[in-house]
Structure 1
């Protein structure tokens, strides 16, 4: 297996996931703040946020987060969140509308080697949703639980006729998560390498970033070039 992505050994109940989703579905979901990263409609509502408000969908690393009132109304979502024995940061529901696309991008410090892991629990998805990480399709199904290294190039295309909705949990790495990832086959020796990525991966990331023109991506490209050997 690869450290790029893998399925975690949890299977959640589809009916209970949909029950809690129905509590949230008619509330105020906000368009995702990275407007350059998608086409169509990509919306979110917060279950855990910095302000404690469900409309606060911004995710900032190392900030202090608190549960929203909405999370406390969703018993099954809360049970899932509590089952992860590590500190949680942002927790959101993310909905990608039918026919919409999240463009290829990278999330800075978005991988386990950065002391962070983002967990996806699909609530509503199907085989016509393409979730691609580092050039490989991630075959997520309803009720499953997945980790991916989002510091690698990734994209999502919803070719179906319904919204793709995931529960997304941002977590901090600790001994419990190390043991969990070890059970899943995560290769910790990769982290001990001098560079986080090999040259081929670095060049691939640079090529993807060069498609996006912004001061942030230019800075990332320079950082990655400095890792080439």
Structure 2
């Protein structure tokens, strides 16, 4: 089974993370554009965007990105970003207010296997936050760094009394990242036979016509 989520070997300083967040609170935060995906308040501000503006909160894989003035004002966020030796795309802060919920959804082509993937670094959170990926609640705490395959079903609910803010980095996969993930315990997707070989296997199993063979055929034909 491939890895749906993975804690990476970083532990950032929560006090320094929150200090940079305080600088960002003076900026202009935008409500998330996918209004159908959440209830309550889900706001973002950009540290790196396609236009270089902090109000440009959209993320598109494969675009050209620029640091915003807000990134220049946040020394610890710059230090964190520099530790990832790969191409950086969108870098944003996402704030989910108390009593708000991001409904279960999937973000297309945001998995490590797609080559463009997303990391979450909690800045502030609380015990009432439920962050669920592929049916499992992840116990994220400030300063940790997590990868998740957001092409899988995921949701967030802030049932606490304080904001939940994450630093979210969209990165491009390269050899350095491959080593980082491998060392952290990443399991790649299983590779099966090519379509022609698969059809030959299924034909041979049909000839056997046993309950075990028929069960295996059903398994092989699953998408």
Q: Which runs of 5+ in 1 are unaligned?
A: 196-226
User: Separation in 2 of the partners of 1:8 and 1:46?
Assistant: 23
Contact 2:2 2:190 in 1 (8 A): no
Deviation at 1:192, TM superposition (A): 3.1
How many positions carry a matched residue from both structures? 197
User: Separation in 1 of the partners of 2:111 and 2:60?
Assistant: 15
Q: How does 1:69-80 map to 2 (within 5 A)?
A: 69-80=69-80
User: Separation in 2 of the partners of 1:24 and 1:191?
Assistant: 42
**Alignment partner of 1:133 is 2:130:** no
**Alignment partner of 1:112 is 2:112:** yes
Aligned equivalent of 1:209: none
Q: How does 1:175-190 map to 2 (within 5 A)?
A: 175-188=175-188, 190=189
Q: Deviations over 1:6-40 (max 9, x none)?
A: 11100000110011000011221000011110000
Question: TM-score of the superposition, structure 1-length normalised?
Answer: 0.83
RMSD: 1.6
User: Separation in 1 of the partners of 2:150 and 2:222?
Assistant: 20
Aligned equivalent of 1:95: 95
Aligned equivalent of 2:191: 192
Contact 1:113 1:191 in 2 (8 A): no
Q: Which runs of 5+ in 2 are unaligned?
A: 195-220
Contact 1:38 1:100 in 2 (8 A): yes
Give 3-state SS (helix, strand or coil) of 1:176's partner.
Answer: helix
User: Separation in 2 of the partners of 1:183 and 1:92?
Assistant: 26
Q: How does 1:7-46 map to 2 (within 5 A)?
A: 7-46=7-46
User: Separation in 2 of the partners of 1:130 and 1:77?
Assistant: 25
Question: TM-score of the superposition, structure 2-length normalised?
Answer: 0.85
User: Separation in 2 of the partners of 1:111 and 1:38?
Assistant: 21
**Alignment partner of 1:48 is 2:20:** no
Give 3-state SS (helix, strand or coil) of 2:113's partner.
Answer: helix
Give 3-state SS (helix, strand or coil) of 1:192's partner.
Answer: coil
Aligned equivalent of 2:166: 166
**Alignment partner of 1:143 is 2:143:** yes
